[in-house]
Structures are given as structure tokens and as C-alpha cells.
């Protein structure tokens, strides 16, 4: 499904910001660029707070 969705979008290229380069596993019909990034949390709520609240809300 992901491959089909990406191939259907009207774009000149695709930026992949996933931990792994999905372009190695999917047959995509447009050029891709794999980017890496780091998250610097400043203040609250931070990512852990947000995920914890979500998990509580859905009962996990």
C-alpha cells in the first residue's frame, strides 16, 4: 500500500525521513532522497509526555 500511495502522488521527487531508506525496499517511480535528522526537545510537553498520554488514552 505504501509503495502504491507514493507512486500515485503528483511529485517530482520524494524525501524519505525514515530510520531506514525505504527506497531500497520499494519500487518507486520517482527519485528519492534519504535524509537524517535529530530531534532536540525544548520544554514540555516532550515526545515522551505526548506518547505516554496517547497510550493512556487508548488503554495501552
Total domains present in the chain:
1
pLDDT at 21: 83
User: Model's pTM, two decimal places?
Assistant: 0.59
pLDDT band at 57 (very low <50, low <70, confident <90, very high): very high
Contacts of residue 7, Cβ cutoff 8 Å, sequence gap at least 6: 28, 29, 30
Q: What is the pLDDT of residues 8-54, one digit of tens each?
A: 999 999 999 988 888 889 999 999 999 998 989 999 999 999 999 99
Helix (H, G, I), strand (E, B) or coil at 23: helix
* Domain hosting residue 51, numbered range: 2-58
Contacts of residue 46, Cβ cutoff 8 Å, sequence gap at least 6: none
Amino acid at each position: 500500500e505504501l509503495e502504491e500511495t507514493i507512486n500515485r502522488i503528483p511529485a517530482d521527487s520524494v524525501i524519505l525521513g525514515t530510520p531506514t531508506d525505504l527506497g531500497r525496499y520499494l519500487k518507486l517511480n520517482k527519485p528519492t532522497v534519504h535524509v537524517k535528522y535529530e530531534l532536540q526537545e525544548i520544554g514540555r510537553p516532550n515526545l515522551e509526555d505526548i506518547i505516554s498520554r496517547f497510550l493512556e488514552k487508548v488503554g495501552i
